[in-house]
Amino acid sequence: MRKPLVQPYPKDWFLRTRAYRLFMLRELTSVCIAGYLVFMLWWLYQLGKGDTESFRSLLSIAKHPVSIGLHTIALIAAAWHSITWFNLTPLVMPMRIGEDRVPNVVIAIAMGYGPWLAVSGFILWATLR
Amino acid sequence: MPEQTITLDVFRYRPDEDERSTIQSYDVPYYEHWVILDALNWIKDHVDGTLSFRWSCRMGVCGSCGMMINGDPKLTCAAFLKDYFPRAIRVEPLVNFPVERDLVIVMDDFMSKLTSVKPWLIRDDTRPMEEELLQSPSQLAAYKQFSMCINCLLCYAACPELDGDPDFLGPAAIALAHRYNLDSRDQGTAERQDILGAEEGVWGCALVGECTAVCPKNVDPAGAIQQAKVAVTKDWYKRLLLPWGKR
Amino acid sequence: MSHLTKTNEAFWWSLFSAGGVMAALFLPVMIFVTGFVLPFMMGEDVESQRDRMVSLVTFWPVRIALFGIIFLSSFHCAHRIRHVLMDFGLRWAGVALMICCYGAAAAGAVAAGLILVRL
């Protein structure tokens, strides 16, 4: 007579292996990015008031160590999102030329890292010029 | 008998006697050229004939000797003792499957998932059987990687999302569906779309990526699933924008 | 396979993917600008700093781009957070979880639209 045994799966599986932890780290970048988006809304709202006083308060908050700390965390999380996203692009959108697959590095650079560099450079130039 | 031995901590479950699993330790002769499957066969031949496990080809083709080795899904015919020596090796059945006995898992659920994606060439014409369906080398290259699967189920054991939704089709079945969808001779994409586009289809995947990492045949099921997501999404928008159109 | 559940996950996934691209391309440099360039790299004259920032952000193509970035990135985050919560064992919450996550993203997108139009 058959009596199959069903084994329980660990509820904390995402802490169990390095690969699972890296996966969860990648997914959790979204929490930091969501937090920054909320800040961005407030930032635009404050800028939209237009008067110098509102802008001064915006600046003084931006210079506060807490802001610097949170921005640093958000920047690391966002950059980690970018890197993992671009590295997975060839998986989602592979390309072939005839029988040969275009190397993953080429796709990641052409569709990810290249545009990333261009966009970042352009925005920095537009704000600093 | 060589001078050195290695310990195997083996998962045991005897359905006729046990209510739960136990771990039984065996000391096995250590040879550099032995794989874990050799050690298991030595135990079965010399120590304990009741130990049950599946195996056949001993060369990474049949896909039947997959087990959890120290918690990682591996083909035991390709996992050498020397990579673990001198520490003990924990040998358990693949996770995400019910255990039939000892290291033997129940595959019934997987088999029905596999057939549900219609893994064969579907044709809507009635051309005679003797007529060839020609295919160019680049058309073959488009799907060849996804056709290398040996159904060893390491990818199912590596997938944490299967625990949350046991009905999730899973890596190998979706990779095989994608393989036929990419085949220039196949015309069954629309027929497979209902199952691939269901919640139990591609949407059970959160791209952990471990299925691809553990695959002994470099099938890249994670890639297949993401590409199938893109295809299913295009199809969803097509149905939304052109509800009267032919699918 | 006993049953199939119909789903519009394709729609949410397309927003997630588009948002993922937007966030990957734009957010690191935007964080750098609001967190480090503006307070430390734009000189001491507050008036001219404000004028430059305002003229940059009120330029219409920039407003539209900012709306696209915030709208899509919000849905990207909502989708990921929903799946993380499912992985953490909240799969049973199903539709309620969707309403919370995507509802928050939609609220953020509406707020972004209103703020950007009134800048």
Question: What is this model's ipTM?
Answer: 0.94
How many domains in chain A? 1
Q: Is the pLDDT of residue A129 over 90?
A: no
pLDDT at residue C2 in the model = 58
Q: pTM, whole model, 2 decimals?
A: 0.94
Same domain, yes or no, for B92 and B192?
no
Q: Is residue A94 part of a domain?
A: yes
* Residues B173 and B88 both lie in one domain: no
The verdict on residue A95 lying in a domain is yes
> Which of C35, C70, C76 lies at the smallest CB-CB distance from A67?
C35
Cis omega before residue A115 (within 30°)?
A: no
Cβ–Cβ gap C1/B112 under 8 Å = yes
What is the per-residue DSSP string for chain B?
A: --S-EEEEEEEE--TTT-SS-EEEEEEEE--TT-BHHHHHHHHHHHT-TT-------SSSSS---EEEETTEEEETTS-BGGGTTTS-EEEEPPTTS-EEETTEEP-HHHHHHHHHT--S---SS---TTS-----HHHHHHHGGGG------HHHHH-THHHH-TT---HHHHHHHHHHHH-TT---HHHHHHHHTSTTTGGG-----HHHHH-TT---HHHHHHHHHHHHHHHHHHHHH-TTS--
Residue B76 and residue B17 share a domain: yes
| Torsion B119-B121-B125-B128 (CA) sign | negative
Asked if residue B116 is part of any domain, the answer here is yes
- If asked whether residues B115 and B235 sit together in one domain, one would say yes
Report pLDDT for C43. 80
Query: How many angstroms separate the CA of residue B229 from the nearest CA in chain C?
Result: 8
Residue A66 lies in a domain: yes
Q: Are residues B123 and B100 in the same domain?
A: no
The residue among B56, B75, B105 that closes a domain is B105
pLDDT of residue B9: 98
B neighbours by CB contacts (3+ pairs under 8 Å): A, C
Indicate yes or no: CB of C37 within 8 angstroms of CB of A128.
Answer: yes
Number of H helices, E strands in chain A: 5, 2
Looking at the structure, do residues B119 and B63 belong to the same domain, yes or no?
no
Do B219 and B135 reside in the same domain of the chain? yes
Q: Residue B77 domain-assigned? A: yes
Residue A100 lies in a domain: yes
Q: Between C23, C29, C76, which is nearest A120 by CB? A: C29
| Chain B contact for C114 (CB, 8 A cutoff) | no
DSSP letter at A94?
Answer: -
Measuring CA to CA, which residue among B162, B146, B151 is closest to residue B206?
A: B162
Regions of chain C where pLDDT drops below 50: none
**What's the domain range around A120?**
20-128
Judge contact between B156 and B215, C-beta under 8 A.
Answer: no
Angstrom distance (rounded) from CA B233 to CA B130: 37
**DSSP secondary-structure letter at A102?**
P
CATH number, domain with residue B187: 1.10.1060.10
- C62 Cβ contact list (under 8 Å, min separation 6): C56
Which of C17, C76, C77 is the mutation pick for testing A, counting most A CBs within 10 A? C77
End-of-domain residue from the set B105, B133, B156 = B105
For residue B29, the domain's CATH number is 3.10.20.30
Here the tokens at position B54 are 């599946």
Partners of residue A5 in chain B, C-beta under 8 Å: 13, 15, 20-21, 98-99
- A67 domain-assigned: yes
Contact A62 C38 (CB under 8 A): yes
Last residue of a domain, one of B105, B123, B157: B105
Kindly state whether residue B247 falls inside one of the protein's structural domains.
no
Q: CA B78, CA B62: separation in Å to the nearest integer? A: 12
Place of tokens 């939304």: B240
Residues B15 and B100 in one domain: yes
Residue B152 belongs to a domain: yes
Give the residue from B43, B169, B149 showing the smallest Cα distance to B102.
B43
* Among the partner residues A41, A44, A59, nearest to C57 by beta-carbon distance: A44
CB-based contact B169 C6, cutoff 8 Å: no
Instruction: Provide the domain count of chain B.
Output: 2
What is the domain-level CATH number for residue A108?
1.20.1300.10
* Domain presence at residue A6: no
Q: For A34, name the nearest residue in chain C, comparing CA atoms only.
A: C77
From B100, B141, B223, residue closest to A2, measured CB to CB: B100
Same domain, B96 and B141: no
Please report whether residue B130 resides in a domain.
yes
A92 to chain B, any CB pair closer than 8 A? The answer is yes
**Domain membership of residue B148 as a residue range:** 108-241
- The single-letter code of the amino acid at B204 is G
pLDDT 10s per residue in chain B (247 long)? 678 999 999 999 999 999 999 999 999 999 999 999 999 999 999 999 999 999 999 999 999 999 999 999 999 999 999 999 999 999 999 999 999 999 999 999 999 999 999 999 998 877 777 778 899 999 999 999 999 999 999 999 999 999 989 999 999 999 999 999 999 999 999 999 999 999 999 999 999 999 999 999 999 999 999 999 999 999 999 999 988 766 5
Tell me the C-alpha distance between B235 and B201, whole Å. 14
d(CA B44, CA B46): 6
Helix (H) or strand (E) holding A100: strand A100-101
Contact A19, B213 (CB under 8 A): yes
Q: What is the pLDDT of residues A45-94, one digit of tens each?
A: 999 888 888 899 999 999 999 999 999 999 999 999 999 999 999 999 99
B170 and B94, same structural domain?
Answer: no
Nearest residue of chain C to residue B166 (CA atoms) = C1
Nearest 5°: CA angle at C19, between C18 and C22? 90
Indicate if B170 and B218 belong to the same structural domain: yes
On whether residue A79 sits in a domain, the answer given is: yes
Burial B65-74 (b: 16+ CB within 10 A, else e): bbbbbeebbb
B91 lies in the same domain as B113 = no
Q: Measured between beta carbons, which residues in chain A are less than 8 angstroms from residue B209?
A: 19, 23, 88
